[in-house]
Amino acid sequence: MATIADEAGVGIGTLYRHYPTRPDLLAALTLRSFQLVLMHARAAALNDEPAPTALTRFLEERIAARDEFVLPLHGGPVIHDAMIVALRTEIRNLLEQVLARGRSEGTIRSDATPIDIIIAGAMLAQPLPNTADWDQLARRQARIFVAGLAATEPPLLGPRPT
């Protein structure tokens, strides 16, 4: 906690006043992390661009903000808090909206799920050791991943042939 206070530029007493225990601090950081992911998911859902573009942007934002995340998929603690559960649910719902838009556009495969996007985002936001330019490599991987979400056949405009 002393190192954290020092790096934050506050006194140890100030840190303990706001976060009496390490779990309190981790819970606050986890909540803040989910709020950041929620902001990115909202932007993707409200985006008028095709779903693959919105998903690529969502993943790129996760990569760019990687140093700000303390999340379970990033090695952070699993915290059972009603606010965090609500944020996770809202993130999944917003990503499902983007996927549903893509399905109706005929740009996203039918079996893609919000969990697929969340896991990819978590993996891409964690740099591999000894990688020269992680941002460039992760963005390339994001584009490859989103390309793999592409629908394999165009949507039917009328009833299916029998």
Helices (H), the chain: 2-8, 12-18, 22-46, 51-64, 82-105, 114-124, 134-148
Q: Where are the domains of the chain?
A: 22-148
For tokens 């584009």, name the residue: 143
What per-residue confidence (pLDDT) applies to 14? 85
pTM given for the model: 0.81
What per-residue confidence (pLDDT) applies to 145? 96
Measured at the alpha carbon of residue 97, what is the angle toward residues 116 and 88, in degrees to the nearest 5?
A: 60
Extract the tokens encoding 95: 């990503």
What per-residue confidence (pLDDT) applies to 5? 78
What per-residue confidence (pLDDT) applies to 74? 57
What per-residue confidence (pLDDT) applies to 155? 53
Give tens-digit pLDDT for 18-53: 888 888 888 888 888 889 999 999 999 998 999 999
* CB atoms closer than 10 angstroms to residue 122: 18
Give tens-digit pLDDT for 111-158: 999 999 999 998 998 888 888 899 999 999 999 999 999 987 655 555
Domain 22-148 carries which CATH code? 1.10.357.10
